[in-house]
Amino acid sequence: MLAWLNFITRLLNHWFAAPVDALLRTLHIAVAHPTHPINNSFTLELIVFTGMLLFFIIVRSSLSVEKPGGAQHTAEWVHEFVEGQAQQVMGHGYDRHLPVLTCLIIFILLCNCIGLLPGIDTPTANPVVPLGLAIFTFVYYNWNGLRAQGPIGYLKHFMGPVWWLAPLMFPVEIISHIARIMSLTVRLYANMFASDLLTVVFFSLIPPAVPIVFLGLHFGVALIQCYIFMLLTTIYLAEATAHPEQH
């Protein structure tokens, strides 16, 4: 399994190393390994993305009211679960965010579960992956807050309920919002890294039959962490898009 992953990563670097290096330099990001800027974590993310895209295409092309297939049942179950959570947290206006929230929870779950494959490191145990997801979440909920409230209305969210406390509350709120990037990143990264490390240690010290239990533990952590990430994103969206009378 690891040999195939390394092979795909080498192919991606052979084809795309030059444009990736150029893009990173344009963004003023130092390239540590110019000949192979693409690592296994990115390859796994790309595999997960491709798998999700194919799954959605299959579901869309085989939709049926009379005879829904297994893929359709799975997609409907995930959609209903995310819809129920979003409706409880956000109330009105949640439906427009369902595609993003659904893709987010599926993507994180699949990335988390890849670590169950022998010899494969969990992509979300690489801090760059959770950081990218956290930055996307930060930009997404703030952008939707600006769209829903307008620039002036959204800024009022950072000033607190009492006007004379605004000079104190504004910097505190700005710092707390920026800290959400770090909290989302560290929570997902630390839990998946610890789960990976625990599994590797026990498989190296104890006969394989015993550490199988820790694969179940890893799967449980994977489920919990993707749910927490999606739930926090939903809460941040609810706070950002809520009008003053909804507080």
- Closest of 69, 65, 111 to residue 229, by C-alpha: 111
pLDDT at position 211:
61
3-class secondary structure per residue, 45-87? HHHHHHHHHHHHHHHHHCCCCCCCCHHHHHHHHHHHHHHHHHH
Nearest 5°: CA angle at 247, between 133 and 179? 30
Domain limits for position 27: 1-38
In angstroms, the CA 137 to CA 128 distance is: 14
Mean pLDDT by 10 residues, the chain (247 residues): 86 90 85 85 93 90 81 89 93 89 95 86 92 96 91 81 75 90 95 85 65 79 95 94 63
Query: pLDDT by residue (tens digit) across 88-120?
Result: 998 888 889 999 999 999 999 999 999 888 778
Same domain assignment for residues 70 and 18: no
Sequence-ordered list of residues with C-beta below 8 angstroms from that of 148, at least 6 positions apart, any chain: 93, 154, 240, 241, 243
DSSP character at residue 114: G
Domains contained in the chain, number: 2
Asked if 153 and 81 sit in the same domain, the reply is yes
d(CA 25, CA 28): 5
Same domain? For 87 and 31 the reply is no
Query: Is the pTM here over 0.85, yes or no?
Result: yes
Q: Quick one: 87 and 173 in the same domain?
A: yes
**108-152 per-position pLDDT tens digit:** 999 999 988 877 889 999 999 999 999 999 999 999 999 988 888
Residue 206: phi and psi, rounded to 5, are -125, 150
